[in-house]
Copies of this chain bind each other. A is one copy, B any other.
Amino acid sequence: MSPGRLAAFADGVFAIAATLLILTVDGAVGGVGIDLGAELKHAWPSYLAYVVSFMTIGIMWINHHTIMDPVERVDRRFLLANLGLLMCIAFVPFPTRLMAEHIRGAGAESAALAYGFTFTTTAVFFNAVWLYASRGGRLLRADCDPRVVAGITRTYLPGPLIYLAATLVAFASPTASALLFLAIAAFYVVESSLFGGRQTAGD
């Protein structure tokens, strides 16, 4: 299999998982016979959960292409590591619904833990995928700039720890944990808006 086909398959899972997130919002607003206006206002956590999860999946999609860009060939181990990563991405709609439904209730801690654990595991697989491909240049193009490779490693390595920290905060305060997940996504968006203007050549 070529890296292009793997990237296309991954794109599909990223796109479907992100689009399925709307079922969370859809499930938060009931049927006929209710006060729709009040219900729509009351459902605000589901909108927020939708935005945070969509942007997080979107950012991970961008990062996945950063990983795949210097990859020249794939082997079965690399494919399996990617399947593990995609299994996490496809899992995201579930804890997103839990967050939307429970962050204001008694289940807030469990919801935040499920949400955070999902992203922590995702970040671990991200590193596994990248480290397997890049260690000793195993699957990379020969002409890869070692500084770029080291830069990617440096950027992704703290991911699991950051998500784990935000997750553990849920034991003290699930709301604070939720705000941290929001802040992580917002940080990337703001940082990219400020410094993300470097142009990438098209192909």
In the complex, the answer to whether A90 meets B54 with C-beta atoms within 8 Å is yes
Q: CA of A114 to CA of B43 in the docked complex: distance in angstroms?
A: 13
Q: Which residues of B contact A71 (CB under 8 A)?
A: 202
Partner of A197, one of B77, B196, B199: B77
Number of copies: 4
In the complex, the answer to whether A54 meets B83 with C-beta atoms within 8 Å is yes
Q: How far is the CB of A27 from chain B (nearest CB, A)?
A: 9
Q: Which residues of B contact A91 (CB under 8 A)?
A: 22, 25, 50
In the complex, the answer to whether B34 meets A93 with C-beta atoms within 8 Å is no
Which residues of A (91-144) have their CB < 8 Å from a CB of B? 91, 93-94, 97-98, 101-102, 105-107, 109-111, 114, 138-139
Q: How far is the CB of A103 from chain B (nearest CB, A)?
A: 11
Contacts known (A12-B11, A35-B107, A200-B75); A83 close to B55, Cβ less than 8 A: yes
Residue of B nearest to A88 (CB): B54
Q: List 19 A-B contacts (CB under 8 A).
A: A1-B62, A1-B66, A3-B202, A9-B14, A11-B12, A17-B22, A19-B20, A22-B91, A25-B94, A36-B106, A36-B111, A50-B87, A54-B90, A58-B80, A62-B76, A75-B197, A75-B200, A76-B198, A77-B196
